Amino acid sequence: MELKSILELNLRYKGMLILLAFTVFVGFLLFQKAVNVRKEVEAIYSDRYILRNYASSAKLNSYKIIFTGDIMLDRGVETAISEYGGGDYSFPFLKIADYLKRADLTVGNLEGAISDKGYNVGSIYSFRSEPKAIKGLEFAGFDLVSLANNHAFDYTSAALEDTFVRLQKAGIKYAGAGWDKEEALSPKIIELSDGTRVAFLAFSNLGPKTWEAKDDSTGLAWLDRESLEEGISSARREADIIITMFHWGEEYQSFSNDSQKSFARLAVDLGADLVVGHHPHVAQEAERYKSKYIAYSLGNFIFDQSFSEETMEGLILEAFIENKEIKQAVARKIEINEFYQPALAD
């Protein structure tokens, strides 16, 4: 074989080796990226070892707060209650109520009014639950719900105001809405048995801004920097621990967007100890920022969105309090069955 041909063959061979090496390198980078994304997704689910370790060493004055995702007791859920639960609104909670009741506090996001007042404003996605739906929340042991969401005005302010009254009569506090701006932005304080005062604030920036509470009109706590500063500043004067709940983000997106990250970190910078998000109807990632926990979306808790696996599961967040501090936060996966009943997946 001529020398020229041998040299060409060697060059061609080296080129193939270089191309192969480059392909392997790029493949490795893509694989590593996929692994990292998978780890981010898995990070939102519970670390069972940490949970067991913490629980086994819990002291006398330690407390657990449970946070659930979106609760909607209308539409398909109401149909399931009627057809399979005998009209008893404890039905959606039957598989998880005992677990919820073992917490010191249980908190959720209530989508839509519980009322027989008002009228449908025209959306095909308007929610209003029967007045007896409040019995379900009582049965499950809810202590507080956020009303700051895009379904608060589905049946006008009359239904929202009626919801205020019904929740108060049931002994369930609400945050993120009120008869006026002062109430909507005021922290709801719950004092634990050791004297620890926990403040709950809730905000939303979804829907028209006309829903924002005014000095003389019912509405929501609107999520912007000014309202956040006002609410957290007030809470700092009254409480040991500040928890902010946000209704935000984009539906069916598995990761938070820049706006969510910006508001979450701003809340921590202003003094929040824990940030809990709702609205996307699917679980999103969690993170620690300046040693504080942020759960961007807990997904659905009780909802009739059976069109995907992601909307038929969600997260529960357990926050552990000790010595007036949140010592640990653990996410636990829940699965929702065909009757829209959530249950722990592990």
For the stretch 24-61, pLDDT in tens is 554 555 445 444 434 444 444 444 323 333 343 345 67
What is the C-alpha separation between 46 and 312, in angstroms, rounded? 18
Domain locations in the chain? 1-43, 47-344
Q: What is the structure's pLDDT at 4?
A: 47
CA angle 225, 161, 275 (to 5 degrees): 35
In contact, 273 and 292? CB cutoff 8 Å: yes
Helices of type H across 190-312: 225-238, 258-270
In contact, 212 and 198? CB cutoff 8 Å: no
What is the C-alpha separation between 68 and 51, in angstroms, rounded? 17
List, in order, residues 6 or more apart from 103 with CB less than 8 Å away.
Answer: 64, 65, 66, 141, 318
* Closest by Cα among 81, 78, 66, 64 to 111: 78
Q: What is the structure's pLDDT at 25?
A: 55
For the stretch 104-159, pLDDT in tens is 999 999 999 999 999 999 888 999 999 999 999 999 999 999 999 999 999 999 99
In contact, 114 and 73? CB cutoff 8 Å: yes
Task: Please give the CATH topology (third level) of the domain spanning 47-344.
Answer: Purple Acid Phosphatase; chain A, domain 2 (3.60.21)
